[in-house]
Structure formats: C-alpha cells, structure tokens
C-alpha cells in the first residue's frame, strides 16, 4: 500500500527515536540525549520534524472564499498562492466529457438549469459560472477536467472527487483512468469518492494512483477497511472526527485529510491531531496562519 510522504516518515523515525529514549533511560551508562552523537542528534531532529510537520494546504473546490468554486480562476489562484493541492469535483455530461462542477445540476453555480448529464459540453461551455459569485468573475466557464490537468501539469496535487451519487455514471472510472493515462504526473493525483465501491474498482484497474475514501463518520477497523478498498488515504469530515481515529488510521498506513476546515480554531484542532492535509475554503488564510507562532504551538 502506498502512503503519502509524511505518513511514511513518521513510521520510519518514531520507532528509532523511541528505542533511543528507552536505552537512555534503562541501560546503565547509556549516553544521555544531550550528549548524543551527531548521528543520534540528526535522527532526533528528523523525528521532531516528522511530528511537527505542517499539513498540506488543499484548496476546497479551488478555494471558495476567493473565487467561484471549481473554475479555472480559482485553481490558478490556488497555484499562485502556493497551495499544496486543490480539491475538485467531476460529473460526466451528455457528450461524454468529464466536467468540473460540484452539483449534479447546473442551477446553483451557473446561469443554466437542469442536470449536467442532459447537456453536451458544447452547451455547458456557453453558460456563465462566475457572475453568480461576483460581477468581477462574469464570463468564467465550467472547465473540463482535461483543461485543469493541462494547466497544472504536475505543479501541485489534484484531488479529484468523483460524484457518482445520487446519479450513477456507469463506467465513469474507466473514463477517468483513460484520461489520466495521458497525464505525466500520476504521483500528483488523488482520486476520492463517497462511492467506496468505485474507489475499490479504480484501485483494481490502476493501482498507481492514490485513492481515498470520503466519509463523515468514525470507522471501526479503519485500516482494515481501507486495505480492502486499496485506499491510501482517508478523507474525513473534521466535524465527525476524533484524534484517536486519526492515530489509528495513520498507524495502519493511511494518510488523513480533513474537510472542510475553515477558521483558526478548527485549523488548530486539525494540526494538534497531526492530520496530513487540511481541505479548506480559505487557503490563503490557512497559509498565513501556518506562518504564525500560534500555529507553531499547535504543531508541538
């Protein structure tokens, strides 16, 4: 099972450091940590770095606080601000393309009406996906996933959430994998969904991609459950999570990315739990907060 870098590092260094501490405490004549060799000091520094690692900043739908969700302008702002990744949503339209939009309907985020599946992309691309948010964004369009991939070109992580409920897009996993085969940066792709059977199928079809199961509950035997799906990550709702669940998941080899976390109190809590990634509507705010002394305290 593949793991995100932070998870792997913790699993490597923690046993080493714990063993050193036990030797210092229990063995007669053991060298105190204060007088440890340069190699031991290096190990200690690496361990502290792992324990206090900053979480990834992942812009929810591109960052809904600064631009209309799931639009190219939102994604470009995320990239320019230095986010570690973006989260976006896909549906399949009538002509077969994978389009980047959250809802199964066009109603909320465009000036169109109706189900995404009932319109061709030629029809969808004529709709305005920005003026509902603010006048300055008038003219933004619903992008294709292929356009987003081309724009990022490996510059940051793309967390692709497949929307397969309440409407089932039969075979959408094959459409996505076929599209991603042309993308030269598989290590920068994470595929997630609330449809866990879909996640299992994607891992079986193409295990080179990070896959994450979305959930809003505490899962018993979360590691075993993730293993059955072939998942490398648990993307969990922060409002239905506890620190013990985070630890159990990470111990089992899963990275834990929490959504949707907005505001300093919730950022601090997520950081105290040592999550691997924070999915937020306010990526600029989180980036700024991570630079503060208050954030450093949360990482201790």
The CATH number given to whatever domain includes residue 190 is 3.20.20.190
Give yes or no: residues 58 and 40 share one domain: no
Q: What pLDDT, on the 0 to 100 scale, is given for residue 90?
A: 98
**Mean pLDDT over the full length of the chain:** 88
Among residues 159, 187, 133, 152, the alpha carbon closest in space to that of 75 is found at: 152
Instruction: List residues bridging with 98 in a β-sheet.
Output: 92
238 catalytic per annotation: no
**Which tokens hold the place of 130?**
């920005």
The range of the structural domain enclosing residue 111 comes to: 54-298
Two tokens, residue 128: 């305005």
Beta carbons of 70 and 100 less than 8 angstroms apart: yes
**Per annotation, catalytic residue among 60, 91, 203, 238:** 60
Residues 109 and 199 in one domain: yes
Cα(29)–Cα(106) distance, integer angstroms: 71
Please indicate whether residue 60 is annotated as part of the active site: yes
Q: How many CB atoms lie within 10 A of CB 93?
A: 24
% of the chain at pLDDT higher than 70: 83
State whether 48 and 121 are in the same domain.
Answer: no
Q: Are residues 107 and 45 in the same domain?
A: no
Into how many domains does the chain fold?
2
15 and 151 part of one domain: no
Lowest mean pLDDT among 14-18, 58-62, 247-251, 292-296: 14-18
Q: What is the pLDDT of residues 94-104, one digit of tens each?
A: 999 999 999 99
If asked whether residues 36 and 162 sit together in one domain, one would say no
């Amino acid at each position: 099972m593949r793991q995100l870098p932070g998870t792997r590092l913790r699993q490597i260094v923690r046993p080493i450091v714990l063993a050193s501490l036990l030797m210092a405490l229990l063995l007669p004549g053991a060298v105190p940590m204060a007088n440890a060799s340069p190699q031991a000091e290096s190990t200690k520094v690496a361990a502290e770095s792992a324990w206090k690692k900053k979480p990834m900043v992942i812009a929810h739908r591109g960052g809904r606080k600064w631009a209309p969700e799931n639009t190219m302008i939102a994604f470009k702002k995320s990239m320019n601000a230095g986010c570690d990744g973006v989260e976006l949503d896909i549906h399949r339209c009538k002509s077969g393309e994978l389009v980047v939009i959250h809802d199964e309907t066009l109603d909320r985020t465009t000036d169109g009406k109706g189900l995404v599946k009932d319109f061709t992309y030629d029809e969808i691309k004529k709709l305005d996906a920005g003026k509902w948010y603010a006048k300055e964004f008038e003219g933004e369009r619903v992008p294709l996933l292929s356009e987003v991939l081309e724009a990022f070109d490996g510059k940051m992580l793309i967390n692709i959430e497949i929307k397969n409920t309440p409407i089932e897009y039969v075979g959408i996993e094959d459409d996505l994998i076929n599209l991603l085969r042309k993308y030269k940066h598989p290590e920068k792709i994470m595929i997630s969904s609330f449809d866990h059977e879909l996640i299992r199928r994607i891992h079986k079809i193409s295990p080179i991609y990070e896959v994450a199961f979305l959930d809003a509950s505490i899962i018993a035997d979360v590691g075993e459950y993730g293993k059955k799906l072939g998942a490398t990550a648990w993307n969990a709702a922060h409002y239905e999570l506890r620190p013990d669940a985070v630890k159990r998941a990470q111990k089992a080899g899963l990275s834990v990315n929490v959504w949707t976390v907005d505001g300093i109190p919730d950022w601090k809590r997520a950081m105290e739990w040592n999550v691997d990634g924070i999915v937020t509507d306010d990526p600029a705010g989180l980036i700024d907060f991570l630079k503060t002394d208050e954030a450093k305290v949360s990482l201790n």
